[in-house]
Structure 1
């Protein structure tokens, strides 16, 4: 009996799907167009890979989904929850109101019920003032029936979660257990406003995540598959459906991250730069020990500054469908707009009227696609210049991501990667692995499960050794909660930043643990 897993990645242009066996060998793969309702695109892709591979449906045990649903909902300001924003931090934080610096349209959408309550902690865990529970009960009565999700942020909650936890209990007591509650201490890191924004955005996309999860599970059921379902998250690892619906914000950058993980697996390299060329953009990221390098800067999502874990990426407006415009005097521009998923009808080689980067590559005999005769009449000399500039755009982005001037391996993945040459300046080698067109879906299928913890410790009280141990244990517990096999857990990332401005020899420790999925069939297999 086999154990098969499905990996699906929903992008703006394509929905990619792969079916892997228990040795992670690719049995079938497909790219189908992303559909308006998304679920149909997922169903079509899934149906095709299972039909192609002819595997028994009951042996498909795991299904992994990488999706941009939540990002798109925030960017488009659509389908968001009705939320209440509760900050625990009066009187200390009254000068700066929640949602400051967030674009007006998003603030109007999410800022209808905003409250600041007395409470919060100092950086060393002492209470600023005790929590005003009476006020919380009053707020709960006020918002009853008006909201379906609450974002709770307390001052220095990554150090002490006591006030956030108690506030959450009060809201559940009055408004019911089913209410979605997002606690900032579980989402962002130190830095009140960015952490609060991340928590507000998380609270606003709970329904979107639920819809995506239900759509995915139903697509599997329609196909007669009873698999365990997981979602891809920003750091290149997986989380269970329950976890994904609680922390949907962690799925925001899983598309490019999955491509990085897939690239690492397909090329057998743990340290390299990955260029993922899609239909509209190219994402350039860095692999460190097979995982994406994380961004240390605040990240903007839909115009709001946030500070939760995100991969360090550069996106450039160059993809397979990018529009090339040539002026009469021989000057030209590349993008940033793209024909996207309409490439098969819009570009010249497919009988359309728009000159795209793919047409340029075909005219110069770099790629064999469509009808080359339709681009034969174009000025080759000029197209060489255009192609040269396309390559330079990628080389510049690769250089920006390098930490030294030494050449590094560059792995090309994504459907549009056929456009790029075998050699790039600044690359020690250019690797184009087999199945690179669906690296993102492979990345989601082979992912591990992780847990992460970030806390401030006063080393005068606990000592560095004890603080490190405590953080490691907590990260491992988080990973096991999310569905990791305890025996396969490894610590994949440790960061220890001394905080000179805090007394008590304080340091911020961040630890990430990752492990393989729990294989329920382990026992059956050893018999």
Structure 2
């Protein structure tokens, strides 16, 4: 059996899954420190379906810890960026375009050094050890505790970053070092930004991972702990300590994977309505469609793996403003049970409207009998219009697109969306996010440039596929279960040598001890 947990802005959901059967599900309020909310969720799960802790083979958690830290600019380590690219790349120094508050939050420092490669692999300039030594001395003198190293075109050739890490490691023994080729994709500034963000979260990642492990152990569970990644796959705790940015979109990703599992639909639009936001994305072969452009995180442009999801400030806890009519984006969040009308509060929320309309049974319905029927109807119509518009934006074809509604707030989604069609609402839809975490697979990905000579295409594709499979197995997948789930080829006509970007993704079931 597995336990899946998803920590949202309003609720912490937990499920107990035995094979493909959902044994129990619980939903409780997210706590400010998050870990006590997880402890409460584990206790509630035990109460709902008593089970022996020794029968749990794995605990999978999707958490908002790290994305919240960046958005709020808190708990970030003092971080320095070292860019290897001189004599090129002088025009825009590291952290260009960052919000000033986040530069201040990481006490950002930057250093430009020689190094890097052209896109065809040629060296721009040799690495200069003395430059890195000077940077290390300055880093130590200024109390920096995390370093992000980025080199021009390191996804094509990572030699400079690896050599720099070998030089800096002994000089900075107590400083964590993140290398950009392990985090981001093509695009120096976006990849560099992603690496700086990842480095700044290193200390927090260590504390959070230790806290999660302690919380699970305190529940008597002695089983491997995994965190959900942005692409719908899992990573172990040790990997999460080094790559916290890989968890940023785990919430909507878990919901989409859970929607595929519950509905049996592997190519569809998923509408996940939580307490604070509605996230809408597309599933392709059972996995979220990935964004092909840069992603903004807290106002910082990045380019690491993220699902292509559109979010709007609409959820069960969204405040309803009546004059003029406006829904959200402000929300009472996890204070729903204190502030909404049906719980004796004085704030009109979407949950109150759902109860007044008779589509939800929560709190005291008598407290919202005075709501004007015209207002209730207008709010429901506006909700349907907003969600239908977002679904229309994410789909890529004119024909009818199956829509699956999940999440605790999915009762707000009508049976038919304007301009879209019928909506599927599977069983256990309220905890689809935790279910998505519990059934998540292990993945491996290859994303690099190849020079494709005459008659070499099939051989290179086969090599990339095998490497992706090997990475999935190395990450913990059952070898016999691994399949190729996505292949992209992008010829780059402006480069010599028939240059082609090949991206292959493989995924398989997690190998767990019986």
Residues 82, 111 of structure 1: alpha-carbon distance in 2 compared, 3 angstrom cutoff: closer
Cα distance per residue 1:449-469 (max 9 Å; x no partner): 111121111113893223222
**Is contact 2:93–2:110 with CA below 8 Å preserved after alignment?**
no
Aligned with 2:233 (options 218, 237, 246): 237
Counterparts in 2 of 1:120-519, with a 5 A limit? 120-144=116-140, 146-176=143-173, 179-327=175-323, 331-460=324-453, 463-519=456-512
Q: Which residue matches 2:70?
A: 74
* 1:524 aligned partner: none
Say whether the 8 Å CA contact 2:31–2:334 is kept in structure 1.
no
Is residue 5 of structure 1 aligned with residue 16 of structure 2? no
Residues in 1 aligned to 2:317 and 2:395: alpha-carbon distance in whole angstroms: 27
Relative to structure 2, which stretch is displaced further, 219-228 or 471-480?
Answer: 471-480
Deviation by residue 1:338-379 (Cα, 9 ceiling, x = unmatched): 111222222222222121112222222233333222222222
TM-score, scaled relative to structure 2: 0.96
Q: Structure 2: how far apart are the matches of 1:382 and 1:6? A: 41
Distance 1:53 1:203 in 2: 40
Q: Is the 8 A contact 1:299 1:306 kept in 2?
A: yes
C-alpha contact (below 8 Å) 2:57/2:513 kept by paired residues = no
Large movers: runs of 4+ above 6 Å: none
CA contact (8 A) 1:149 1:181 kept: yes
Deviation of 1:111 (Å) = 5.2
**What per-residue deviation string (whole Å, max 9, x for no partner) do you get for residues 243-300 of structure 1?**
1111111100110000000011011111111111111111111111110011111110
Q: Secondary structure at the match of 1:415?
A: coil
**Per-residue deviation at 1:116?**
1.0
Shift of the alpha carbon at 1:479?
Answer: 1.7
451-460 or 227-236, which deviates more: 451-460
Query: 1:12-51 CA distances to partner (integer Å, 9 max, x unpaired)?
Result: 1111111111x13111211111112111111110122123
Match of residue 42, structure 1, among 38, 51, 54 = 38
Equivalent residues of 1:275, 1:283 under 8 A apart: yes
Taking a change above 3 Å as real, the CA distance of residues 367 and 109 of structure 1, as seen in their structure-2 partners, is closer
Cα distance in 2 between the residues matched to 1:282 and 1:106: 26
- Stretches of structure 1 that go unaligned for 5 or more consecutive residues are 522-527
CA separation in 1, counterparts of 2:392 and 2:206? 39
Q: In 2, are the aligned partners of 1:85 and 1:111 still within 8 Å (CA)?
A: no
Instruction: Give the length in aligned residue pairs.
Output: 513
Deviations 1:185-234 (A, max 9, x none): 11111110001001110111112222221111101111111111111000
Compared CA separation, residues 188 and 378, structure 1 to 2 (3 A): same
Cα distance per residue 1:47-66 (max 9 Å; x no partner): 22123321111111201110
Give the TM-score normalised by structure 1.
Answer: 0.94
Deviations 1:387-408 (A, max 9, x none): 1111111111111111122222
Distance change in 2, residues 1:80/1:429 (3 Å): same
**Structure 2: any 5+ residue segments left out of the alignment?**
none
Asked if 1:25 corresponds to 2:15, the answer is: no
Written as runs of structure 1 = structure 2, the 5 A alignment for 1:82-97 is 82-97=78-93
Judge conservation of contact 1:5–1:63 (CA < 8 Å) in 2.
yes
Could you tell me whether the CA contact under 8 Å between 2:5 and 2:438 is conserved in 1? Answer: yes
Please state how far the C-alpha of 1:170 moved relative to its aligned partner: 1.3
1:460 partner SS: coil
Q: Distance in 2 between matches of 1:463 and 1:173?
A: 42
